[in-house]
């Protein structure tokens, strides 16, 4: 088994090993030992907010309590923070013995973070699959497999219920750029192998963000390889219309060159 495939298998095994599974893409859902934690089980919305904030920063170092409160609620609400933190610990470990250290929450002074080594998160796993593909060292099949796993996991916007919260915006935009790059890379890899899959992938990616001109060019190339010249031209026209209407831009020279080559066929 290749190193790439071993890495994919290890990521799948890691999910099985974790008792806590967190889904943030297109939804928000948390499973403890395979059981969904209901909205009622969370209690206060501030508990959910704090947990979601910590999840959005799970790959980073601990953040000071005052900074967390300020970013979520606009000021240092120490009482709200303590209650919400207690709620998180109670949800994640309902049977933890009194006066014992939490298993999933790391506290250093007044800084807090969730333990990324013990909690499976869909968004983090998407990045890990893409990282596997990036370092696949020429293993095309393994590269394709890792990118496919990442795209399967991406179900939509990061924490859609918090779309108007400033603290979630940066992570949401960052993840969208990452997954768009994964779509592009996978569609390029599949172009010589399966043009129809390249077309499907580019269509799905453009439904997420219709401004990626690279994807239009790739879709045009796939249609030409499929012998569908009219659809390739329609793809260019759609690209041109969206860029003009939404951004006041013309297609790039390389896109126009591709169109000219198609018109010359």
Q: Determine the CATH number of domain 1-179.
A: 1.10.10.10
Sheet holding 20-23, edge to edge: 35-36, 29-32, 20-23, 119-121
How far is the C-alpha of 93 from the C-alpha of 90, rounded, in Å?
A: 5
β-bridge partners, 120: 21
pLDDT in tens, the chain (265 residues): 468 889 999 999 999 999 999 999 999 999 999 999 998 999 999 999 999 999 999 988 999 999 999 999 987 667 889 999 999 999 999 999 988 999 999 999 999 999 999 999 999 999 999 999 988 777 899 999 999 999 999 999 999 999 999 999 999 999 999 999 999 999 999 999 999 999 999 999 999 999 999 999 999 999 999 999 999 999 999 999 999 999 999 999 999 999 999 999 8
Domains 1-179 and 191-265 share a fold: no
How far is the C-alpha of 227 from the C-alpha of 245, rounded, in Å?
A: 29
Q: Which tokens sit at 131?
A: 């990282």
pTM of the model: 0.92
Helix (H) or strand (E) holding 64: strand 63-64
| DSSP symbol at 15 | H
pLDDT tens for each residue of 171-213: 999 999 999 999 999 999 999 999 999 999 999 999 999 999 9
Domain ranges (residues) in the chain: 1-179, 191-265
pLDDT for 1 equals 45
Looking at domain 191-265, its CATH class is mainly alpha
How far is the C-alpha of 262 from the C-alpha of 250, rounded, in Å?
A: 18
How far is the C-alpha of 136 from the C-alpha of 152, rounded, in Å?
A: 19
How far is the C-alpha of 90 from the C-alpha of 104, rounded, in Å?
A: 11
Q: Which tokens sit at 56?
A: 């959005």
The neighbour count for residue 155, using CB atoms within 10 Å, is 12
pLDDT for 76 equals 66
């Amino acid at each position: 088994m290749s190193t790439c495939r071993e890495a994919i298998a290890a990521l799948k095994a890691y999910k099985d090993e974790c008792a806590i599974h967190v889904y943030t893409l297109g939804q928000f859902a948390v499973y403890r030992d395979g059981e969904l934690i209901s909205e009622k089980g969370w209690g206060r919305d501030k508990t959910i907010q704090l947990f979601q904030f910590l999840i959005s920063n799970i790959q980073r170092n601990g953040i000071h309590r005052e900074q967390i409160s300020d970013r979520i609620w606009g000021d240092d609400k120490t009482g709200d923070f303590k209650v919400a933190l207690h709620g998180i610990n109670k949800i994640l470990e309902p049977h933890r013995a009194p006066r014992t250290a939490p298993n999933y929450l790391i506290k250093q002074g007044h800084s807090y973070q969730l333990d990324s080594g013990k909690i499976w998160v869909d968004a983090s796993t998407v990045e890990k699959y893409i990282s596997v593909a990036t370092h696949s060292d020429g293993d095309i099949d393994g590269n394709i497999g890792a990118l496919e796993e990442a795209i399967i996991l991406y179900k939509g916007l990061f924490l859609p219920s918090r779309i108007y919260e400033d603290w979630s915006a940066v992570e949401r935009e960052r993840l969208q750029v990452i997954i768009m790059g994964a779509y592009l890379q996978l569609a390029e890899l599949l172009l010589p192998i399966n043009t129809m899959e390249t077309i499907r992938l580019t269509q799905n990616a453009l439904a997420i963000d219709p401004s990626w001109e690279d994807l239009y060019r790739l879709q045009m190339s796939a249609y030409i390889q499929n012998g569908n010249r009219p659809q390739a031209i329609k793809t260019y026209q759609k690209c041109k219309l969206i860029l003009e209407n939404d951004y006041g831009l013309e297609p790039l020279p390389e896109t126009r060159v591709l169109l000219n080559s198609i018109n010359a066929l």
